[in-house]
Chains A and B, each alone.
Chain A
Amino acid sequence: MKFKKLITSLTVAALMLGMAGVSAQAADLRVGVEGAYPPFSWKESDGTLKGFDIEIAEAVCAQLKRKCVLVEQDWDGMIPALLARKFDTIIASMSITEERKKRVDFSDKYYNTPAKFVAKKGSGLKITKAGLKGKRIGLQRGTTHQCFMEKMFPDTELVLYGTQDEVFQDLAIGRIDAQFSDSIAADDGFLKTDAGKDFEFTGGDQHDEACHGPGAGMAVRKADTKLRDELNAAIKALRDNGTYQKINAKYFEFDIFGG
């Protein structure tokens, strides 16, 4: 009896502290999103969330026939909030890494923006071991891209920079023959700007699993294997029925799903 009394008072205390006892509704899928990472997610001035991640989240909910509740969450608290059951999955361009896998489970990747080389239009640069031998390639240090270049093109001279912006600047004034980075970063941050109008992607997508990892996935709590499997099925279905490609085309000029 005493135990019951204790529980009752705990409940009352909990309610007084501003918690509302809400029974989990199977119909709603609560999705943690960020809203501060354009073009994947951003906030319009009227407060609405927009972007690739947001549309993918809504498409996934539609596929699962569940109502989507988008929960905005600051990036630093993303995984703790998932673990505290504030939402059921994270769809926020979260890269699948070994470190994060210790705490949460991931769906299959839903995109993997490839890394690409950017060089002057008509440079005729050949992206092969021989073609890049002795060339100066600029990139941001400490990134997955440095790992890739050192592994795949050991004879190339790497010029390392602290930030991606410096890489673009030196490419524009001709100090380096080409640069190597994430393709979206290069497209949005350079090619679409005035400084980058004489430059282009060259040599196609570059990818190495060990360096780059599998891409961005949707995170779920480790116990939620059922939801993870449903998300995997939904991602596959969106790819198969063309919804993914339609969303993709709104934001990017190439398929960011990756190989």
Chain B
Amino acid sequence: MDLILEYQDQLLAGTWVTIKLALLSLLIAVLFGLVGAWAKLSKNIVAQKIAAAYTAIVRGVPDLVLILLVFFGGQELANSIGTLTGLWEYAEISQFAAGVGTIGIVFGGYMTETFRGAILSIPKGQIEAGVACGMSRMIIFRRVIWPQMVVYALPGFSNNWLVQIKSTALVSVIGLQDVVYNGFVAGRSTRQLFTFMFAVLMIYLVLTAISDSGLRWLDKKYSKGIVRSDDG
């Protein structure tokens, strides 16, 4: 316990990195998810094909492999391009950018499916009714699709988010000093690995508990006026 207090600055700094990483990659994931869902449901064949390839790849390849590929492979590629063209000698992919980008894009794939499913759950008649009333596509999205989509998507979204928080631990492999990395280094430095791994475990539990109550609040807010049957 004394050791944990001694290393608390390291652990807190790591926790902050984990939180920033999780929130920024969530933002990217939601953007990719919305665009992906739109593309999958659009009538444009090219957009459909691209979105299908995207979800197939990111959901089919382990996150760790993608992170290593972007961080190490991307840098080697950037360096080779630089050397070949003579434009730059050395380019650096920051660990944080590689982590946020990769995790965001990977979970964007899952969000795509979640949002697509949610949009499909909205009865088609409502959209047709909107058209019949002379609503523009933007207004239909804002007034008809979005409020209902959020309700249908929340359970899947919550699930994705919890998995995503934990996936941020993967970035410790590329040396990004998140809570897992800092906990591991402190544990090895003091030869008390289990003490620090236990502390890291507690930190993750706190983070997921906080997001759980946040998500429940969102659920309440968007479910106003919706009566749920018991089996739903």
Partners in one complex: yes
Closest B residue by C-beta to A21 = B88
Residue-wise, chain B 178-212 has the 8 Å CB interface mask toward A (1 for contact) of 00010011101111000000000000000000000
Closest A residue by C-beta to B79 = A85
Q: Which of A82-99 contact B (CB under 8 A)?
A: 83-86
Q: Across the interface, do B188 and A83 meet the contact criterion of CB distance under 8 Å?
A: no
Interface: B7 (CB within 8 A):
yes
Q: Across the interface, do B189 and A74 meet the contact criterion of CB distance under 8 Å?
A: no
Main secondary structure of the interface of B (DSSP, over half): helix
* Cβ-defined partner of B90 (8 Å) among A10, A24, A37: A24
Interface: A22 (CB within 8 A):
yes
Known: A36-B184, A45-B7, A86-B75. A77 touches B81 (CB 8 A): no
Interface: B38 (CB within 8 A):
no
Interface size on B, residues (CB 8 A): 40
CA distance A76 to B89 in the complex (A): 26
Cβ of B150 to closest chain A Cβ, rounded Å = 30
Of B91-99, B124-132, B137-145, the one touching chain A:
B91-99
Q: Which of B1-37 contact A (CB under 8 A)?
A: 6-7, 9-10, 13
Interface: A203 (CB within 8 A):
no
Residues of B within 8 A of A38 (CB): 188-189, 191
Interface: B87 (CB within 8 A):
yes
Residues of B within 8 A of A42 (CB): 185, 188-190
Known: A74-B174, A74-B181. A83 touches B72 (CB 8 A): yes
Q: Across the interface, do B10 and A85 meet the contact criterion of CB distance under 8 Å?
A: no
Q: Across the interface, do A43 and B10 meet the contact criterion of CB distance under 8 Å?
A: yes
A sample of 20 more A-B contacts (CB under 8 A), given A14-B78, A21-B91, A85-B76, is A18-B97, A19-B78, A19-B91, A19-B94, A22-B90, A23-B88, A36-B184, A36-B189, A37-B188, A38-B188, A42-B185, A43-B185, A43-B189, A45-B9, A45-B186, A74-B173, A74-B181, A77-B68, A77-B175, A84-B72
